[in-house]
């Protein structure tokens, strides 16, 4: 049985409202206890983000749901041929911030797209890797011949979790922030980094007749949850033994008192493992697939903060797969960290940049700190 080739034929993005500058962030998110943040400037200096997007107005009121943004990015794929939507065979939607626990994010997105007929829908969960899991499901469905085409999406609406009323009243350790940037990766850090948006790929078993396509050469993933405990979590509380206590096991009063519904990060685990584990698996992939790092023309690493750029660069050199900065392509400063959508947003910007030439190879790297999972893929311009 021969396997199909798989191509990305089009990409799109939807970023809500106008970009929000660093100075405007608290206008949208609010101030904790009415006071300006003391750690904001330090965190922003480390993460290198200049602007981001929120599905909020300046009063902190929502303007879009996650599913709505995702649907808008999908609809944008078919602007030139809306009838093509009726021939779609699979909708694969990844996010870590669904609008509700049930129904799934994918079917809610489908509900905003009446142009699409009855169709298979899948909703991978996770954090930053969720979008890549959606991508791999679509890739495998087409490669196996089960589907001829599919749309894969990555999206987030983090802003609802970043509003001031979600956070506890807690002191900020400025001296520790200055001496150890990792300490900023707490709840306060996430307020100044996470962003909203959605992006989509249209994929099929045939390349475009006119214009460029991206051939999906392979998609690999790995989890180190067997070795490492949870690092980033929400809807639970981390216990002294490293286990997580579910929000279901708290009283209503405890949910508020412990700020259980806010996003939290175990900064010690993050700093020790996130870069090293990601480089380890990438080295294994290049060895197993007998790949040459010198053939990579563009490297698209998803980074939660610019703080990690030099760390990734150095670790790849240590692993013998160094990639010079001139081959790196990322848009963290202009769109922020959009979690499961970030790698889609990078591919979308590069795809429509006019820079690509046939034969170019594009390496994707997506780390996920929640319990140390990673996704990788190679695309070839054709």
Q: Is residue 242 part of a domain?
A: yes
- 291 and 191 in one domain? no
- 282 and 255 in one domain? no
- Whole-number pLDDT of residue 187: 59
- 54 and 133 in one domain? yes
- 315 and 249 in one domain? no
- 174 and 31 in one domain? yes
Number of domains forming the structure of the chain? 3
- Domain that residue 329 falls in: 214-225+265-381
Closest CA to 331 of 353, 360, 310: 353
- Whole-number pLDDT of residue 173: 41
- 56 and 163 in one domain? yes
Q: Is residue 146 part of a domain?
A: yes
**Contact (CB, 8 A) for 376 and 235:** no
Q: Is residue 366 part of a domain?
A: yes
- Cβ atoms < 10 Å from Cβ of 118: 6
Q: Is residue 249 part of a domain?
A: yes
- 184 and 40 in one domain? yes
How far CA 216 is from CA of 110, 204, 219, in Å, comes to: 25, 10, 8
The secondary structure of 28-77 as a DSSP string is HH--BTTB--SSHHHHHHHH---EE--SB-TTS-BS--HHHHHHHHHHHH
Sort residue 104 into left (φ over 0), alpha (ψ -120 to 50) or beta: beta
- 250 and 219 in one domain? no
- 236 and 112 in one domain? no
Query: For the chain, where are the alpha helices, taking DSSP H only?
Result: 25-29, 40-47, 66-77, 105-111, 130-143, 174-179, 187-191, 252-257, 267-288, 309-318, 332-335, 342-351
Q: Is residue 2 part of a domain?
A: no
- Whole-number pLDDT of residue 168: 47
Q: Is residue 1 part of a domain?
A: no
Cα–Cα distance measured from residue 282 to residue 285, given in angstroms and rounded to the nearest whole number: 5
**Domain of residue 331, CATH code:** 3.40.47.10
- 372 and 288 in one domain? yes
- 70 and 198 in one domain? yes
Q: Return phi, psi of residue 140, to 5°.
A: -70, -35
- Cβ atoms < 10 Å from Cβ of 123: 22
- Whole-number pLDDT of residue 186: 53
- Whole-number pLDDT of residue 32: 77
- Whole-number pLDDT of residue 171: 40
Tokens of 13: 């993005």
Q: Is residue 286 part of a domain?
A: yes
Q: Return phi, psi of residue 164, to 5°.
A: -60, -30
Q: Return phi, psi of residue 236, to 5°.
A: -165, 175
Each of the 382 residues of the chain gets a pLDDT tens digit; together they read 689 999 999 999 999 999 999 999 999 999 877 888 878 888 898 899 999 999 999 999 999 999 999 999 999 999 999 999 999 999 999 999 999 999 999 999 999 999 999 999 999 999 999 999 999 999 999 999 999 999 999 999 999 989 887 764 444 444 444 555 444 445 567 788 899 999 999 999 999 999 999 999 999 999 999 999 999 999 999 999 999 999 999 999 988 888 888 888 887 888 889 999 999 999 999 999 999 999 999 999 999 999 999 999 999 999 999 999 999 999 999 999 999 999 999 999 999 999 999 999 999 999 999 999 999 999 999 9
- 258 and 138 in one domain? no
- Whole-number pLDDT of residue 25: 96
């Amino acid at each position: 049985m021969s396997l199909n080739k798989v191509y990305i034929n089009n990409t799109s993005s939807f970023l809500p409202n106008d970009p929000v500058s660093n100075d405007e962030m608290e206008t949208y998110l609010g101030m904790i206890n009415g006071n300006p943040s003391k750690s904001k400037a330090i965190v922003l200096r480390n993460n290198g983000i200049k602007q981001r997007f929120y599905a909020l107005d300046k009063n902190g009121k929502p303007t879009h749901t996650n599913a709505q943004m995702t649907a808008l990015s999908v609809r944008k794929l078919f602007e030139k041929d809306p009838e093509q939507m009726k021939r779609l065979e699979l909708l694969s939607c990844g996010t870590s911030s669904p609008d509700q626990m049930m129904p799934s994010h994918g079917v809610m997105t489908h509900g905003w797209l009446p142009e699409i007929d009855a169709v298979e829908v899948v909703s991978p969960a996770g954090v930053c890797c969720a979008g890549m899991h959606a991508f791999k499901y679509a890739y495998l469905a087409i490669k196996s011949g089960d589907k001829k085409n599919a749309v894969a999406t990555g999206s987030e609406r983090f802003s609802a979790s970043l509003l001031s009323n979600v956070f506890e009243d807690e002191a900020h350790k400025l001296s520790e922030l200055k001496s150890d940037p990792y300490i900023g990766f707490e709840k306060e850090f996430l307020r100044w980094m996470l962003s909203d948006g959605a992006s989509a790929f249209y994929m099929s078993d045939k390349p475009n007749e006119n214009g460029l396509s991206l051939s999906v050469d392979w998609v690999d993933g790995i989890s180190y949850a067997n070795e490492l405990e949870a690092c980033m979590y929400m809807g639970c509380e981390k216990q002294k033994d490293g286990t997580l206590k579910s929000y279901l096991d708290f009283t209503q009063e405890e949910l508020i008192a412990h700020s259980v519904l806010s996003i939290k990060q175990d900064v010690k685990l993050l700093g020790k493992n996130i870069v090293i584990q990601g480089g380890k698996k990438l080295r294994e992939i290049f060895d197993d697939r007998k790949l040459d790092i010198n053939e990579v023309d563009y490297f698209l690493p998803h980074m939660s903060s610019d703080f990690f750029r030099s760390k990734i660069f150095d670790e790849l050199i240590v692993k013998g797969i160094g990639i010079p900065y001139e081959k790196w392509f990322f848009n963290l400063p202009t769109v922020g960290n959009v979690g499961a959508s970030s790698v889609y947003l990078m591919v979308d910007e590069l795809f429509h940049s006019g820079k690509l030439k046939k034969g170019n190879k594009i390496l994707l790297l997506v780390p996920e700190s929640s319990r140390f999972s990673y996704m990788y893929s190679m695309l070839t311009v054709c």
